[in-house]
């Protein structure tokens, strides 16, 4: 593996891992009021495009990391829908 | 420009634009309590790695988009620090 590819995997690992604390925080606090839904929806669409781009340009760090980011973003969207709906219920 | 490169720029535009609604939401609501600080810090580090990777592998869609994402992530971090500090003040 070339040093450029290693750097790509480090970059991919960082941008992928970044989503874990957000998903964890939302899960623990059961609140995602301040989290922007459009952000995660647009980002998820972006990751799909990056996966296709990564495959077409034969860059494993790009498509591998973006597949995982897509899953994490989808999970964040699901949590936000769940907790925002709960907050709207009358107490 | 090749079709792969166009797709890369679409992907880059999506993952870049995704940060705008989050920054805007935080700015408008003046609250970022539910937004994870580690997410944006780790993500910002990731974008720096992607910029270096993009330059080294001569992929403009990667380094161009990640420079902008870095700026937006840094702005989100600054807003979170500002509004979280305000919330901690006694009313």
Which CATH number fits the domain that encloses residue B51? 1.20.1280.290
Put simply, whether A25 touches B (Cβ < 8 Å) is yes
Print the domain residue range for A48: 3-84
Residue A90 lies in a domain: no
B37-56 and B60-88 are packed helices; what angle lies between their axes, rounded to 10 degrees?
A: 160
Q: How many domains in chain B?
A: 1
Q: How far apart are the first and last CA of chain A?
A: 57
B-chain residues near A13 (CB < 8 A): 46
Kindly calculate the radius of gyration of chain A based on its CA atoms and give it in whole angstroms.
15
Contact A30, A79 (CB under 8 A): no
- Beta carbons of B76 and B40 less than 8 angstroms apart: yes
- Look at residue A67 and tell me if it is in a domain: yes
Q: Which residues of chain B have pLDDT under 70?
A: 89-91
Residue of A5, A26, A79 lying closest to B49 (CA atoms): A5
* Any domain includes A78: yes
Residue A63 belongs to some domain of the structure: yes
Residue A89, in any domain of the structure = no
Task: State how far residue A27 is from chain B, nearest Cα, in angstroms.
Answer: 11
Tens-digit pLDDT profile for residues B1-23: 889 999 999 999 999 999 999 99
B32 in contact with chain A, both atoms CB, cutoff 8 A: yes
Give yes or no for a contact between B49 and A11, defined as CB atoms under 8 angstroms apart.
yes
Report if residue A42 sits inside a domain. yes
- What was the ipTM of the complex prediction? 0.87
pLDDT, tens digit, for every residue of A8-30?
Answer: 999 999 999 999 999 999 999 99
Please give the DSSP secondary-structure letter assigned to residue A35.
S
What is the per-residue pLDDT across A33-54, written as a single tens digit (0 to 9) for each?
999 999 999 999 999 999 999 9
């Amino acid at each position: 593996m070339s040093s450029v590819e290693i750097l790509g995997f480090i970059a991919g690992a960082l941008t992928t891992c970044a989503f874990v604390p957000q998903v964890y925080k939302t899960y623990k606090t059961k609140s995602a009021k301040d989290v922007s839904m459009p952000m995660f929806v647009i980002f998820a669409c972006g990751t799909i495009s990056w996966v296709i781009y990564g495959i077409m340009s034969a860059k494993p760090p790009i498509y591998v990391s973006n597949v995982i980011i897509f899953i994490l973003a989808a999970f964040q969207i699901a949590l936000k829908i769940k907790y925002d709906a709960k907050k709207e219920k009358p107490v």
